[in-house]
Amino acid sequence: MKRPGHVEAGRVERGVNVPQSYRLARRDSRGERTVVHLRNGATFGGEEIAICAGPCGVESSEQLDETARSVADAGANVLRGGAYKPRTSPYSFQGLGEEALKMLRDAGDRYGLGVVTEVLDPRDVELVTKYADMLQIGTRNMQNFPLLREVGATRMPVLLKRGLSATVQEWLLAAEYVLLGGNESVVLCERGVRSFDVATRNLLDISVVPLLEDLTHLPVIVDPSHAMGIARLVPPIAVAAIAAGAHGLLIEVHPDPPNALSDGAQSLDCAQFRELMRRLSPVAEFAGRRLPRRKPSGDGVANAGYRGSAAGEESASTAHSEVRSSSSGVKLA
């Protein structure tokens, strides 16, 4: 069996002569910065920033459709939503699984949005790649190495969230696991680290935005929703992130936050999200970037529906991920 999880096992390497750092992720390993493209045209790392928005968890097709339509109208270009939810308590809502994946694909196609959703289990990677455009590796799984290897074996873009108390070096080494599998489409996502203060849910480390620009060629986006845990603080921090140079945002939006099954306190409602998008436009411009271009709903990004499993993992992922900038070509062992 050739699962990616075990390619390294059995190979005894002496640590001494092997540089214990991120060879592939480092800035100077490529001539140009990586730009990650989704099938619907969304880009991470280019002049156009990516706005990923949607509910924490997919709860119903109605909830998702309403949110997707609203965020698309407001200018988002990627739909986020959890089908498999990592929850601290086993008694909390754990997600709707494949049913939610179908809803995400439908809503994404309907409104021209790319779809990013979290995968928790290496055994689910194949299934999730059938529906999603980008695989999210959550905070708790930043060092789930079998999972990193599994997504590294696909050719689907990966959104790699920073671990709860991961150093920048550990984060880049986690990215290295994906890159080493041959998947060049990694986007880093800062979402706050654990701190001693409970005033906010986590402590957003905004310094990584310019810091990572020096250290790596990979794009970095910011998730102010999980960092803050309080909806009112999300817009000013989103604005600050773009001003600091972030290549995109991941924002939780729910049509009815007080009744959300998870993360209601930190979710913007649809009107708040629209207002945020209005504020972001001049800041993006100031930062030398621009918001996603509006596309009329139902235009050319309409799709042929679900990709069946017959299509195979490889074709599905190459269809979605084009790391175009690598003109010099990165040769990965």
Residues 85-104 that bind a second copy (CB under 8 A): 86-97, 99
Spatial separation of the C-alpha atoms in residues 111 and 103, rounded to whole Å: 12
Spatial separation of the C-alpha atoms in residues 316 and 302, rounded to whole Å: 16
**145 is a contact residue toward a second copy (CB under 8 A):** yes
Which residue reads 């203060």 in tokens?
197
169/315 with CB nearer a second copy:
169
Spatial separation of the C-alpha atoms in residues 133 and 109, rounded to whole Å: 11
Report the site for a second copy in 238-257 (rule: CB under 8 A): 239-245
288/308 with CB nearer a second copy:
288
**272 is a contact residue toward a second copy (CB under 8 A):** no
> What's the closest the beta carbon of residue 244 comes to a second copy, in angstroms?
4
Measured at the CA of 201, the angle between CA 200 and CA 203, to 5 degrees, comes to 70
Kind plus residue range of the DSSP H or E element containing 135: strand 134-137
18/310 with CB nearer a second copy:
18
Are the CB atoms for 194 and 164 separated by under 8 Å? Answer: yes
Q: Which of 165, 309, 315, 318 forms a contact with a second copy (CB under 8 A)?
A: 165
38/276 with CB nearer a second copy:
276
Residue count, binding to a second copy (CB under 8 A): 92
Q: Which of 185, 262, 266, 267 forms a contact with a second copy (CB under 8 A)?
A: 262
Q: Which of 29, 31, 236, 309 forms a contact with a second copy (CB under 8 A)?
A: 236
160/204 with CB nearer a second copy:
204
78/101 with CB nearer a second copy:
101
Which residue reads 């993360």 in tokens?
263
Sign of CA dihedral 117, 222, 230, 138: positive
**182 is a contact residue toward a second copy (CB under 8 A):** no
Question: Which of these, 53, 80, 57, lies nearest to 280 by C-alpha position?
Answer: 53
Are the CB atoms for 96 and 118 separated by under 8 Å? Answer: no
> What's the closest the beta carbon of residue 129 comes to a second copy, in angstroms?
17
176/322 with CB nearer a second copy:
176
What are the C-alpha distances in Å from 153 to residues 97, 149, 170? 22, 6, 20
Residue 304 corresponds to which tokens in the numbers above? Answer: 């042929």
User: Which amino acid, residue 121?
Assistant: D
Kind plus residue range of the DSSP H or E element containing 160: strand 158-161
Q: Binding segment for a second copy among 35-43, 73-81, 118-126, 129-137 (CB under 8 A)?
A: 118-126
Q: Binding segment for a second copy among 71-79, 104-112, 157-165, 302-310 (CB under 8 A)?
A: 157-165
Report the site for a second copy in 203-222 (rule: CB under 8 A): 203-211, 214
HSE at residue 29, side-chain half, CA atoms within 13 A, is: 18
> What's the closest the beta carbon of residue 284 comes to a second copy, in angstroms?
11
**62 is a contact residue toward a second copy (CB under 8 A):** no
